[in-house]
Amino acid sequence: MFEDLRDLYQEVILDHGRKPRHGAKLAAYDATARGDNPLCGDRIALWLQYTPDGHIARAGFEAKGCAISIASADLMAEVVAGLDADAARALAGALQTLAKTGAAPALDAPLAERLARLLPLAGVHEFPSRVKCATLPWHALLAALAGTENATSE
């Protein structure tokens, strides 16, 4: 029945949507931001902890949202660990392109590996109403990196 939905709901998405590994507030953090999608009511709160030299040490989140947005947030928390702000922003830009077009932009090797982990999110590009579900956590990431505390996927 749902064969054609397997692009959208790949096992990785269902798994991380159901059991997020990073779905908790960090006890200590250096930056935080909220993301809201006013159209659908999805919400995310994101916390980042930095290393002394300004790399992202860890990310944690609490979210109310669909399988796509939770999985995207969880995969994001996984792949941004160890990145500095510029690299994290580049990865966020690549994810947005991936979600909107289904194609992964070319990135340098270390980032390309991390982007490969996000490829299961490419399926949303065929579902225009769901693209924002995948990008919302990344809007929150950009806001946290910029030190602004509110983001929207609008």
Partner 1 sequence: MNAGHDPAPFDVVRLRADFPILAQKVHGRELVFLDSAASAQKPRAVIAAMTAAMERQYANVHRGLHWMSERTTEAYEGARDAVARLLGAPDRHEIVFTRNSTEAINLVAHSYGRGVLAPGQAVVISEMEHHSNIVPWQMLRDAHGIELRVAPITDAGELDLEALARQLADGKVGLVALTHMSNVLGTYTPAARLARLAHDHGAKLLLDGSQAIVHRAVDVEDIGCDFYVFTGHKLYGPTGIGALWARRELLERMPPFLGGGDMISSVSFARSEWAQVPHKFEAGTPPILEAIGLAAAIAYVEAIGYPAIAAHEAALTDHALSRLAAIPGLTIFGRAQDRGGVVSFTLDGAHPHDVATLLDRQGIAVRAGHHCAEPLMHRLGVESTARASFALYTTLAEIDALAEGLLRVSEFFA
State the minimum distance, in angstroms, from the CB of residue 90 to partner 1: 28
CB nearer partner 1, residue 42 or residue 74 = 42
- 22 Cβ neighbours under 8 A, 6+ residues apart: 59, 60, 61, 73, 74, 77, 78
Q: What are 104's two structure tokens?
A: 């992964």
2 lies in the site for partner 1, by CB under 8 A: yes
Q: Which of 130, 134, 135, 138 binds partner 1 (CB under 8 A)?
A: 130
Closest separation between CB of residue 15 and partner 1, Å?
12
Give yes or no for residue 128 binding partner 1 (CB under 8 A). no
- Count CB-CB contacts under 10 A for residue 29: 17
User: For residues 65 and 74, what is the distance between their CA atoms, to the nearest angstrom?
Assistant: 12
1 binds partner 1 (CB under 8 A): yes
Q: What is the closest distance, in whole angstroms, from the C-beta atom of residue 34 to partner 1 in the complex?
A: 14
CA distance 84 to 100: 25
Give residue 105's identity as a one-letter amino acid code. P
Which residue of 25, 64, 103, 150 would you call a contact of partner 1, by CB under 8 A? 64
Short-list 32, 30, 122, CA closest to 71: 122
Q: Which is nearer to partner 1, 20 or 94 (CB)?
A: 20
Q: Enumerate binding residues for partner 1 (CB under 8 A).
A: 1-2, 4-5, 8-9, 14, 18, 39-43, 64-68, 127, 130, 133
